[in-house]
């Protein structure tokens, strides 16, 4: 008996070693490229760290965070990012859900419509930015040409402080293809019999949407919400290519400010402090969303 147990424990430890050996590339990669940079970034956020200074980072305690409290550009970038997220996150969810519902209907040419909606997501961000620069162009742009036809003169979409941010928000809807695909996958998982029962009970299509589709789709909505929050707080490439954060920093986003501090101003410590705050904000918002999800996310089989 004792021999049997010993043999089985030996086999299990051999199995464990094999298991660890198989996952070791990931563990090493995780430590080297994620855990260590995060830990160093946290340390650097308490340092005056110019990567070009030979003496290396100089520990300055919480000075970076104190400076941030009095930095008008930090507050402006933070305000811009929150404002963008407040509009772009719900609108992209609503638009993509609406599109998913339409594309889930059994109509002729359904795969073609799905492809058309998904295609813009495949266009690289910078290429999309170039395209939209032309769409927003007041002399040759498609948007102003259409508005002109109904007698409206378009504003300077990207050159006025009032319109630059809404223009970027509107443009963000261009890339909802991925979210739509996830919603469609979720919609296909909704059991048909629930719709049939609701129909027998006399529920209208609006009621079926409200009482059947949305509750059963809530885990997917929750997932897309979290991804959208994270995505909007990391917006960088589009304003970098289209507006360079202007005019008058109207489209200057938080990640843009991190980039400028790290790679233009060589203030890596300050950039790390900004990054740490960004992490805390994203974690807090994700936490709030997760906490609130208990009330509105319904998992099947629970």
Partner 1 sequence: MQVAKYIILSILLLLAGYSLIWGPRAEFTPTKGTVVIQYWEKWTGLEGSEMEDIVNKYNQNEGRQKGIYVQYLSMANVSQKTLIATAAGTPPDVAGVWDTQLAQWASTDALEPLDDFVRNYSDYKLDANYYKSVYWDACHFNGKLYGLVSTPANIGLQYNKALFAENADALRAAGCDPTRPPRTFAEFDRYAAALDKKQGDKVFRVGFAPMEPGWYAPQLPFWFGGELFDQKTQHFTLTTPQCVAAMEWVKSYSKRLGAAALNDFRNGLGDFASINSPFITGQSVMELYGPWSANYIGLLKPSMNDPTNPAWMDANFSTLPAAQRQAVLDRHMAKPWQERQKLAQYAFAPFPSVYVDQLITPRHTVDQLTDEELIDNGVTYCCFDVLVIPAGSKHKKEAFDFIAYVNRTDVMEKLCQLHCCTSPLAHNSPTWLSNHPNAYMSVFDRLTRSPRAHHLPIIPIWPEVIDELNNVCQRISLLNQEPADALRESQDILQAKLDQFYARHPEARGTNGQ
The footprint of partner 1 (CB under 8 A) covers: 48, 50-54, 58, 60, 67, 72, 136-141, 153-161, 246-249, 260, 263-266
Cis peptide before 259 (omega within 30 of 0): no
Query: What's the closest the beta carbon of residue 280 comes to partner 1, in angstroms?
Result: 24
Measured distance CA(87)–CA(245) in Å, rounded: 18
Query: What's the closest the beta carbon of residue 233 comes to partner 1, in angstroms?
Result: 22
Query: What's the closest the beta carbon of residue 34 comes to partner 1, in angstroms?
Result: 19
Is-contact 92 173, C-beta < 8 A?
A: yes
Specify the residue, 72 or 301, whose C-beta has the smaller distance to partner 1: 72
Measured distance CA(6)–CA(97) in Å, rounded: 57
Specify the residue, 62 or 265, whose C-beta has the smaller distance to partner 1: 265
Specify the residue, 50 or 234, whose C-beta has the smaller distance to partner 1: 50
Measured distance CA(258)–CA(108) in Å, rounded: 48
Query: What's the closest the beta carbon of residue 30 comes to partner 1, in angstroms?
Result: 22
Query: What's the closest the beta carbon of residue 51 comes to partner 1, in angstroms?
Result: 4
Under DSSP, the state recorded for 173 is G
Residue position matching structure tokens 């609130």: 292
Specify the residue, 179 or 255, whose C-beta has the smaller distance to partner 1: 255
Specify the residue, 51 or 98, whose C-beta has the smaller distance to partner 1: 51
Is-contact 217 191, C-beta < 8 A?
A: no
Cα–Cα separations (whole angstroms), residue 41 to 35, 259, 276: 10, 14, 8
Measured distance CA(248)–CA(172) in Å, rounded: 21
């Amino acid at each position: 008996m004792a021999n049997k147990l010993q043999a089985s424990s030996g086999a299990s430890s051999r199995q464990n070693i094999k298991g660890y050996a198989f996952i070791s590339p990931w563990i090493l990669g995780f430590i080297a490229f994620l855990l260590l940079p995060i830990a160093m970034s946290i340390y650097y956020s308490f340092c005056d760290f110019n990567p070009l200074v030979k003496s290396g980072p100089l520990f300055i305690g919480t000075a970076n965070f104190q400076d941030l409290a009095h930095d008008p550009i930090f507050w402006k970038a933070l305000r811009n990012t929150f404002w963008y997220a407040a509009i772009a996150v719900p609108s992209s969810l609503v638009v993509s859900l609406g599109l998913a519902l339409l594309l889930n209907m059994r109509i002729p040419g359904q795969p073609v419509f799905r492809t058309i909606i998904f295609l813009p997501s495949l266009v690289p961000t910078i290429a999309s930015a170039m395209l939209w620069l032309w769409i927003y162009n007041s002399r040759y742009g498609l948007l102003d040409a259409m508005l002109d036809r109904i007698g409206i003169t378009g504003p300077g979409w990207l050159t006025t402080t009032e319109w630059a941010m809404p223009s970027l928000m509107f443009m963000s809807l261009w890339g909802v293809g991925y979210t739509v695909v996830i919603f469609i996958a979720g919609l296909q998982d909704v059991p048909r019999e629930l719709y049939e029962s609701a129909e027998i009970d006399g529920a209208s299509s609006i009621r079926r949407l409200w009482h059947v589709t949305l509750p059963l789709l809530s885990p997917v909505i929750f997932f897309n919400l979290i991804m959208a929050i994270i995505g909007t707080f990391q917006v960088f490439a589009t304003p970098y290519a289209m507006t360079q954060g202007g005019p008058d920093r109207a489209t200057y986003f938080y990640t843009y400010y991190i980039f400028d501090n790290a790679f233009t101003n060589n203030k890596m410590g300050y950039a790390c402090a900004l990054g740490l705050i960004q992490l805390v904000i994203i974690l807090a918002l994700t936490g709030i969303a997760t906490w609130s999800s208990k009330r509105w996310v319904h998992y099947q089989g629970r």
